[in-house]
Structure 1
């Protein structure tokens, strides 16, 4: 199994332009929330606890993240718990509101992602490896931590393999 640093470095190689990273701080959470919202129906109750495909997917994701790093898994669990609460609430609303919120967040989130990759001059990581869809949210959490001065050893390992973050002069054609 790949390590945390392996996954983050592979993903980071597609994200070295700071404008692209910045778009990910908006686009990735929007896409994550959209998926949680859309998977929050159908829902049922098990012992008074709401369960849905979103809850099952979030649990599976947290297990994967925990196998990589317990601190990042904890951060992802908190984010996913908040998104599950929002998704559960939206799933209880009208079909139009639930579906409109889910599809709207999904579409706008991807537009923002593709704008970032336009500046990057490189396709999104998931095009070459579908694991990028699961690593993207972890990358955002890691980058937020790096910006706050946390997990310097992880940041150094990722940058040693993917190169430093650098501003490009303009859109690159590859």
Structure 2
């Protein structure tokens, strides 16, 4: 079980170009939102509450995030994912066609943005080498947002010590 620092460092190694990180700030939330839409059906009752597969996946992911050894980061990414899943549950009130179109459409747009970012990076996405990267992506963009607010200086310093600072890769001379 790798801790948050190890996971963030490994993921950051694939994400040093600032344009790639920027596309991830949009693409990753879109993907989480789309997964929330697609998993918002079927609904079932448990203990008087209505649940969906999306909430079960959110609960399992939250447990995983909170056990990575950085409670603030785990709680922050869990909260962001909670909001995205909550918003995603507003879409299925429409027809099945609209639900499926929104879910698949937003998912595809999110991944297109990811691959555009990795063009700038000049490197394949992290999940290609480690599927855990699919869980680390939301944690990474949440961490980057928190770094921008001044939180987590020691974590940011450790990431940059191990994989270097962010930059803009020269596309003319890769």
1:48 deviates by: 3.8
Distance change (3 Å), C-alpha of 1:103 and 1:149: same
Could you tell me which residue of structure 1 aligns to residue 167 of structure 2? 166
TM-score, with normalisation over the residues of structure 2?
Answer: 0.94
Separation in 2, partners of 1:37, 1:171: 40
Partner of 1:22: 22
- Give, in angstroms, the shift of residue 171 of structure 1: 6.6
1:123-146 per-position Cα deviation (integer Å, ceiling 9, x unaligned): 000000000000000000000111
Give the gaps of 5 or more residues in structure 1: none
How far did 1:2 drift? 1.0
1:91 Cα deviation (Å)?
2.2
The superposition leaves residues 52-94 of structure 1 with CA deviations (integer Å, 9 ceiling, x where unpaired) of 1111110000001000121112112221221222222222321
Alignment RMSD, CA only? Answer: 1.4
Q: How does 1:2-81 map to 2 (within 5 A)?
A: 2-68=2-68, 69-81=70-82
What's the offset of the Cα at 1:172? Answer: 6.9
User: Could you say which residue in structure 1 is the equivalent of 2:155?
Assistant: 154
Match of 2:132 in 1: 131
- Pick closer, same or farther for the CA change 1:41–1:135 going to 2, 3 Å: same
Residues 114 and 44 of structure 1, relative CA distance in 2, 3 Å threshold: same
Cα distance change on mapping 1:141 and 1:120 into 2, 3 Å:
same
SS at 2:113 equivalent: helix
Q: What TM-score does the superposition give when structure 1 sets the normalisation length?
A: 0.94
User: What residue in structure 2 maps to residue 101 of structure 1?
Assistant: 102
| 4+ runs deviating over 3 angstroms | none
The residue aligned with 2:92 is: 91
